[in-house]
């Protein structure tokens, strides 16, 4: 459709704009520049500002051109300023000027510019979020930078419009690399404490590895540099884990095992890159860098194995100590429970003995009282009360002897009625029987057969 429109109206501003945008989406900078130069020469009011903005973006995206860095940066700034001179409310031009200020390391003014653009546009320009993230990262404000990058992903994900790359996946992959680098830089900064305050570095390296692995999957072609960065991050994370003991930070055998696994995975990858380099293939990493990495990785693998053995031995010893402590605590707990139970039983036994003594004392007092002291009781009633208390006392005595597993010796059980005998304690005649008044002194009342 675009080609047919070009054939019909080759100089039409709308057609040229479509062609220029097509080249921009493919990062074909030279053809895009030619198209927008042609549009700018036409001085069409509706497309003049857009042409200058596009040319400013083209120059800014080609700052890496050899020996043309300063010239391209100045051209980009000039185009952005020309737009703002005519329209101070143009947020896109202001955003472009902010990128130029950031490139010149004027971070304070650049941040002010991006913040103003964001305030005016309401996040309608996703590039502003990305640029603010870069500013925060340069200022070592890692949480703020990560928030800006994540906001950019949330704003552009699923929109279908690539901003910094040729397609949406690669655009997202580049931002994931920014996030990964922010975590890496944050971890390195944390490690500078070189004490217990460096503990969070391990987790931040893990987050860096996570986002780099996500980024690798976004690119269709083999990205040697990104994979090398992933291997380097695993090497640095392993160093961090191995140095925990010297920094006074607690570590586990699981952490060391994960660090060792990362090193074992990284070594053959970098060795493959070195092989490609020796075979004459294009690898954007120097031979010396690859050799240094391989030497460090092998050394760390040996160290990690030794640390793993030591840590596993410590954990086994600690587990044995914990088991002994638990067993000791359980024994102490059971011992206390037994002591409490024995104390309760002893208390109950003392209470029962006291009750028996009170009962005996009451019976003795009741029997010893003369008749005139109990005028309200008849003789018959008095005998009945005495008989009842004796009966209850014998029951208590029998229960107490049953609990102790002992017999009475002089009283063998409850009395039986029948054959002219009253209830009570019946004793055998002879040596086992009660002897006169001694029976009462022993607390046993003999019931004699009636004649």
pLDDT in tens, 94-125: 999 999 999 998 999 999 999 999 888 887 88
Angle at 225 between CA 67 and CA 200, to 5 degrees: 115
Encode 18-41: b = buried (16+ Cβ within 10 Å), e = exposed: ebbbebbeeeebeebbebbebbbe
Model confidence at 228, pLDDT cuts 50, 70, 90, reads very high
Predicted TM-score of the model (pTM): 0.67
Q: Delineate the domains of the chain, giving CATH numbers in brackets.
A: 222-368 (1.20.58), 373-441 (no CATH)
| Each residue's pLDDT tens digit, 305-314 | 999 999 999 8
Tens of pLDDT along 147-160?
Answer: 999 999 988 876 65
Q: Per-residue pLDDT for 6 more than 80? A: no
Quick one: what percent of the chain has pLDDT higher than 70? 76
Task: Report residue 97 CA to chain centroid gap.
Answer: 42
How many C-beta atoms surround the C-beta of residue 112 within 10 A?
14
The pLDDT tens digits of the residues spanning 436-448 come to 444 444 444 444 4
For residues 312 and 253, the answer to whether their CB atoms sit within 8 Å is yes
Under 8 Å between Cβ of 191 and 201:
yes
432: confidence class by pLDDT, cuts 50, 70, 90: very low
The whole-angstrom separation of Cα 393 and Cα 399 is 10
pLDDT of residue 159: 61
| Burial class of residue 382 (count of CB atoms within 10 Å of its CB; 0-12, 13-18, 19+) | middle
Per-residue confidence at 419, pLDDT binned at 50, 70, 90?
very low
C-alpha 130/C-alpha 20 separation (Å) is 24
Nearest-10 crossing angle of helices 168-191, 126-138: 20
Tell me which of 113-117, 337-341, 389-393 is least confident.
389-393
């Amino acid at each position: 459709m675009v080609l047919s429109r070009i054939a019909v109206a080759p100089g039409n501003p709308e057609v040229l704009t479509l062609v220029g945008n097509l080249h921009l989406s493919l990062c074909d900078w030279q053809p895009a520049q030619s198209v927008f130069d042609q549009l700018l020469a036409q001085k069409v009011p509706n497309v003049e500002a857009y042409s200058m903005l596009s040319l400013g973006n083209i120059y800014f995206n080609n700052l890496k051109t050899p020996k043309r860095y300063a010239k391209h940066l100045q051209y980009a700034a000039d185009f952005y300023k020309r737009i703002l001179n005519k329209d101070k409310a143009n947020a896109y031009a202001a955003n472009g000027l902010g990128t130029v200020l950031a490139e010149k390391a004027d971070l304070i003014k650049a941040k002010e510019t991006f913040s103003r653009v964001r305030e005016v546009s309401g996040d309608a320009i996703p590039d502003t979020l990305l640029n603010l993230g870069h500013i925060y990262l340069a200022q070592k404000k890692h949480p703020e930078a990560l928030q800006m990058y994540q906001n950019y992903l949330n704003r552009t994900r699923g929109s279908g419009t690539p901003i910094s790359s040729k397609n949406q996946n690669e655009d997202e992959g580049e931002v994931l690399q920014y996030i990964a680098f922010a975590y890496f830089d944050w971890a390195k900064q944390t490690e500078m404490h070189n004490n217990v305050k460096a503990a969070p570095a391990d987790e931040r390296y893990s987050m860096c590895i996570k986002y780099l692995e996500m980024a690798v999957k976004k690119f269709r072609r083999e990205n040697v540099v990104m994979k090398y960065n992933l291997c380097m991050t695993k090497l640095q994370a392993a160093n961090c884990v191995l140095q925990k003991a010297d920094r006074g930070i607690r570590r586990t055998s699981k952490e060391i095992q994960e660090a060792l696994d990362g090193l074992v995975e990284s070594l053959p990858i970098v060795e493959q890159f070195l092989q490609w380099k020796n075979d004459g293939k294009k690898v954007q990493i120097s031979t010396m860098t690859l050799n240094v990495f391989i030497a460090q990785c092998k050394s760390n693998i040996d160290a990690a194995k030794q640390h793993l053995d030591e840590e596993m031995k410590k954990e086994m010893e600690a587990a044995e100590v914990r088991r002994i402590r638990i067993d000791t605590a359980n024994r102490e707990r059971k011992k206390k429970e037994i002591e409490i139970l024995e104390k309760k039983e002893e208390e109950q036994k003392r209470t029962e003995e006291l009750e028996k003594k009170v009962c005996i004392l009451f019976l003795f007092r009741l029997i010893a009282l003369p008749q005139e002291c109990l005028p309200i009781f008849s003789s018959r009633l008095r005998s009945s009360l005495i008989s009842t208390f004796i009966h209850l006392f014998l029951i208590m005595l029998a229960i107490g002897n049953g609990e102790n597993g002992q017999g009475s010796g002089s009283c063998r059980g409850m009395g039986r009625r029948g054959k002219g005998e009253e209830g009570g304690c019946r004793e055998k005649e002879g040596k086992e029987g009660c002897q006169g008044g001694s029976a009462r002194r022993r607390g046993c009342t003999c019931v004699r057969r009636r004649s």
